[in-house]
């Protein structure tokens, strides 16, 4: 029901829902069940066939489909099978990932698959949670999972853990009688409890006003139906595929027409164009990408990062924003005593131990924190509880916000109380408000949750609080402290050009204090509440986010909108979270990272899970992401340099009227013996320098940007022009068959030289030993290539329109590879010198 039940009295709520304290009649409950449906989140599953077919629609996959078909027509069945095998493996992997992603909605359903006690026809009974309906009267007790969205009718000492929904790290006190303004945000609706949250303490009776998809969790589930965006890597490869295939088709079409105009054989020209197209499409690139991502995923697993979708590995390296949850990611997720002021240390310790219902592991988080503090202070609280026997208690009262006990020992009857400062001040035997409130404000400004402790010596067991006057013995401040190493990780992220924003459901003082302690918040940045962004346009919000480092009291809708706004302005956004409230943002983020200890729904909506819930792990993982990006950019330069060389070389010969310097079958072989053995080694290249000192770059520019284009153009021009003049010279002194064989072999070795040079960014001769160490596997590839090429030229040359070469022909074979190697070396020296001058 679309109505703000938190804003009306209990009587009006019951009237609006057409129910009473006696509950619904069974007939009416059945009628409403038919009307509203089961109290479950409805799954909308897409056709599995549609999901499967979608895996084969990207431009790059379409190019490979065409290339595989053309290879088959040319009789190259092996290449065709490899290409199609790769396409279908890739398709099945993508299909599997999407099917797994659908489980995120099912994970939400598991939050409420239990029984619940309701009142129907005046009798208490137990029903399955999925069968409750609006108007049902529900009974809730400590430990219960709230089965639906409920307006409270009665509440006794009720504390609810709403962290899964709001991100609030402390249990929330609930009050049934309060009537709130209509625009009260969900984290302040103290008279309502929501599906999936947990009763920490107390008991309550309430009336159901929303079930299934109409609950707050249900509305979050609807957000989860939105598809996750493609990874930056996928988008960049698609963009690259479109540009490259367009260039190839234009160039090869022009060359074919030129050849026809020159009177060349049409059949041979078409054969040449098709072979060139098959060779120039880097069908090995998806294999290299997969290898790089798998290597990255294996490295990340050692860093306690589990990768669910391989492209997510690379997304880390492209991140420009990290929208991080606070609790459990930046902080320990456990309250600790951070500071205290003791007016009477002995009595403060006794109050902390005795006015406390927790054990060291179980109970109210604040009380557990007190016991751990006592252990750190070397106080045996168990002994104190045995020595001082509880003879009277006033359970925690959410209205009065305090708890009190009376204990008996050889000293007589003693009274201890703990609670909010404003609740204890009125109980003081004399005016203590001024000093106490000053201390309270000092601790609160540090973002601490503050409790005051009082003591009184009694003559007899009390019958009520009103008859006791106390003195304040101490004030304690609690904080969920930051994890070790987070501050250093934040500094590293800043140097890497990555902005971190804490988005939390906690109050602004606590969030700001934590953010400041780890270096995320400073006086130059802003800390705001979620409600302050509601009236901003997306443009205004984006401008504001550039200066914001903390967003407190944020709702799931706030977090979702922030992520979408950043993405719409070209940012690559990483989102961390562990609760159901984080699910919408995790789902639509470029990379959603769930905490290992978080909810199943958050894990299912994410592409990556960190088993050690720590921002430090994420920042360290970014290094691997950037290494993968760098290696992929290198292999693209290598592959396109080789493909560009072949096209330019044949183009120059064709246009000038020379015979083709590379026969179609030779082109296909070169593709196998160079690209096929060297490119697979690139993912194992080590990083040169510090990846975290570089600013993030858009992958489209990293892969096919100006810098990449200039490298490819330079390499291709050097190889093509040098080979063209060599081939022209060879035709004057040798037969066409011998010139073709030398040209063929020289092209192979030259591409090996380019492969060695492009694996590193620094000049080879600056430090040859270190250069070789950055990737030893590249030389293994060359060794395998030498064996294959020697076999072709010496054993079966006639299959490749070649002849056997003598030792006297070796200088002609090796001269262009050496020229190319040193030409790239010179380019590197000049480029590195220019970069050094720019830094200076």
Residue 626, classified by CB atoms within 10 Å of its CB into exposed (0-12), middle (13-18) or buried (19+), is: buried
In degrees and rounded to multiples of 5, residue 263 shows phi and psi of 85, 15
Q: Residues 278, 72: contact at Cβ < 8 Å?
A: no
User: Per the structure block, which two tokens stand in for 806?
Assistant: 């003598």
Q: Measure the CA–CA gap between 541 and 566, rounded to whole angstroms.
A: 9
CA distances from 52 to 55, 97, 290, 395 (A): 6, 11, 19, 59
Nearest to 326 by CA among 520, 160, 50: 520
Q: Residues 642, 682: contact at Cβ < 8 Å?
A: no
In degrees and rounded to multiples of 5, residue 209 shows phi and psi of -120, -10
Residue written as token pair 């697979």: 680
Q: Measure the CA–CA gap between 547 and 177, rounded to whole angstroms.
A: 41
What sign has the CA pseudo-torsion 362, 366, 367, 370?
positive
User: Per the structure block, which two tokens stand in for 49?
Assistant: 């066939």
Q: Residues 236, 703: contact at Cβ < 8 Å?
A: yes
Q: How many CB atoms lie within 10 A of CB 460?
A: 10
Q: Which residues pair with 413 in a beta bridge?
A: 408, 458
Query: Which helix (H) or strand (E) covers residue 404, if one does?
Result: strand 402-409
In degrees and rounded to multiples of 5, residue 407 shows phi and psi of -125, 155
Q: How many CB atoms lie within 10 A of CB 447?
A: 22
Beta strands in 191-316 (DSSP E): 192-193, 198-210, 305-307
CA distances from 742 to 395, 770, 794 (A): 94, 33, 13
Q: Residues 298, 313: contact at Cβ < 8 Å?
A: no
Q: Is 325 a known active-site residue?
A: yes
Query: Which helix (H) or strand (E) covers residue 453, if one does?
Result: strand 449-458
Task: Write the DSSP assignment of 696-756 as a string of letters.
Answer: P--HHHHHHSHHHHHHHHHHHHHHHHHHHHHHHHHHHHS-HHHHHHHHHHHHHHHHHHHHH
- Strand pairing report for 321-324 and 573-577: parallel
User: Per the structure block, which two tokens stand in for 687?
Assistant: 């990083």
Q: Measure the CA–CA gap between 258 and 264, rounded to whole angstroms.
A: 9
Q: Measure the CA–CA gap between 596 and 537, rounded to whole angstroms.
A: 35
Note every long-range contact of 700-708, with CB atoms under 8 Å and residues 24 or more positions apart, other chains counting: 700/235, 700/236, 700/239, 700/240, 702/236, 702/629, 702/633, 703/236, 703/237, 703/239, 703/240, 703/632, 703/633, 703/636, 704/236, 704/239, 704/240, 704/243, 704/244, 704/636, 708/633, 708/636, 708/637, 708/640
Q: Residues 692, 495: contact at Cβ < 8 Å?
A: yes
Q: How far apart, in Å, do the first and last CA atoms of the chain sit?
A: 66
Helix, strand, coil share (%) of the chain residues, nearest 5 = 55, 15, 30
Active-site residue, selected from the candidate residues 325, 364, 582, 675: 325
Q: Measure the CA–CA gap between 271 and 256, rounded to whole angstroms.
A: 10
Residue written as token pair 């769930």: 594
User: Per the structure block, which two tokens stand in for 578?
Assistant: 């562990």
Return the active site residues. 325
């Amino acid at each position: 029901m679309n109505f703000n039940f938190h804003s009306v009295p209990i009587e009006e709520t019951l009237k609006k829902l057409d129910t009473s304290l006696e509950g619904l009649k069974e007939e009416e409950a059945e009628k409403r069940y038919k009307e509203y449906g089961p109290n479950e989140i409805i799954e909308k599953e897409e056709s599995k066939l549609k999901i499967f077919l979608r895996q084969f629609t990207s431009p790059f996959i379409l190019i490979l489909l065409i290339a595989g078909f053309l290879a088959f027509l040319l009789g190259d069945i092996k290449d065709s099978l490899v290409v199609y095998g790769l396409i279908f493996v890739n398709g099945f992997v993508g299909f599997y990932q999407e099917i797994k992603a659908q489980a995120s909605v099912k994970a939400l359903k598991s939050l409420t698959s239990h029984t619940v006690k309701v009142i129907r026809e005046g009798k208490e009974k137990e029903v399955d949670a999925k069968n409750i309906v609006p108007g049902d009267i529900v009974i809730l007790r400590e430990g219960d999972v709230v089965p639906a969205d409920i307006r409270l009718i009665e509440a006794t000492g009720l504390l609810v853990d709403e962290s899964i929904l709001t991100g609030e790290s402390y249990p929330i006190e609930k009050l049934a009688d309060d009537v709130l303004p209509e625009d009260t945000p969900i984290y302040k609706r103290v008279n309502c409890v929501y599906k999936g949250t947990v009763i920490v303490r107390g008991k309550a009776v309430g009336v159901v006003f929303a079930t299934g998809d109409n609950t707050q969790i249900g509305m979050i589930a609807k957000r989860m139906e939105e598809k996750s965006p493609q990874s930056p890597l996928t988008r960049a490869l698609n963009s690259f595929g479109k540009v490259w295939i367009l260039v190839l088709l234009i160039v090869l079409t022009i060359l074919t027409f030129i050849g026809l105009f020159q009177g060349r054989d049409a059949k041979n020209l078409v054969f040449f164009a098709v072979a060139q197209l098959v060779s120039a499409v880097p069908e090995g690139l998806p294999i290299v990408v997969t290898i790089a991502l798998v290597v990255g995923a294996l490295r990340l697993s050692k860093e306690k990062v589990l990768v669910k979708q391989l492209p997510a590995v690379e997304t880390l390296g492209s991140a420009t924003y990290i929208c991080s949850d606070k609790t459990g990611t930046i902080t320990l997720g456990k309250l600790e005593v951070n500071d205290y002021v003791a007016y009477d240390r002995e009595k403060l310790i006794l109050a902390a131990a005795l006015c406390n219902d927790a054990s060291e592991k179980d109970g109210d988080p604040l009380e557990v924190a007190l016991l751990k503090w006592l252990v750190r202070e070397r106080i045996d609280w168990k002994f104190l509880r045995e020595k001082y026997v509880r003879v009277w208690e006033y359970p925690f009262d959410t209205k009065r916000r305090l708890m009190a006990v009376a204990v008996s020992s050889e000293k007589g009857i003693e009274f201890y109380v703990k609670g909010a400062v404003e609740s204890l001040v009125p109980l003081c035997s004399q005016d203590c408000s001024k000093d106490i409130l000053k201390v309270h404000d000092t601790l609160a400004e540090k973002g601490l949750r503050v409790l005051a402790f009082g003591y009184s010596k009694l003559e007899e067991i009390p019958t009520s609080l009103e008859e006791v006057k106390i003195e304040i013995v101490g004030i304690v401040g609690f904080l969920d402290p930051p994890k070790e190493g987070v501050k250093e990780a934040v500094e590293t992220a800043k140097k890497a050009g990555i902005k971190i924003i804490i988005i939390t459901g906690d109050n602004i003082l606590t969030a700001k204090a934590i953010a400041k302690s780890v270096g995320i918040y400073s006086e130059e940045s802003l800390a705001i509440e979620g409600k302050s962004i509601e009236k901003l346009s997306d443009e205004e919000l984006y401008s504001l986010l550039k200066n914001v480092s903390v967003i407190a009291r944020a709702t799931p809708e706030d977090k979702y909108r922030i992520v979408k706004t950043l993405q719409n302005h070209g940012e690559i956004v990483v989102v961390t979270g562990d609760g159901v409230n984080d699910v919408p943002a995790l789902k639509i983020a470029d990379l959603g990272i769930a905490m290992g200890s978080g909810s199943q729904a958050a894990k299912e909506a994410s592409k990556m899970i960190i088993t050690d819930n720590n921002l430090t792990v994420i920042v360290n993982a970014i290094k691997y992401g950037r290494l993968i990006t760098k290696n992929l950019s290198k292999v693209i330069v290598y592959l396109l340099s080789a493909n560009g060389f072949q096209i330019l070389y044949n183009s120059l010969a064709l246009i000038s009227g020379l015979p083709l310097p590379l026969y179609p079958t030779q082109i296909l072989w070169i593709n196998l013996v160079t690209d096929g053995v060297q490119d697979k080694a690139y993912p194992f290249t080590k990083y040169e320098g510090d990846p975290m000192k570089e600013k993030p770059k858009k992958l489209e520019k990293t892969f096919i940007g100006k810098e990449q284009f200039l490298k490819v153009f330079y390499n291709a021009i050097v190889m093509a022009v040098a080979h063209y003049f060599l081939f022209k010279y060879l035709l004057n002194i040798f037969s066409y068959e011998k010139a073709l064989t030398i040209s063929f072999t020289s092209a192979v070795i030259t591409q090996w030289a380019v492969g060695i040079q492009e694996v590193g960014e620094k000049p080879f001769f600056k430090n040859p030993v270190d250069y070789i160490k950055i990737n030893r596997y590249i030389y293994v590839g060359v060794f395998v290539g030498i064996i294959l090429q020697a076999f072709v030229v010496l054993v079966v040359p006639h299959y490749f329109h070649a002849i056997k070469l003598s030792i006297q022909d070796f200088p002609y074979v090796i001269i262009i590879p050496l020229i190319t190697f040193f030409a790239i070396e010179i380019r590197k020296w000049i480029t590195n010198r220019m970069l050094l001058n720019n830094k200076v």
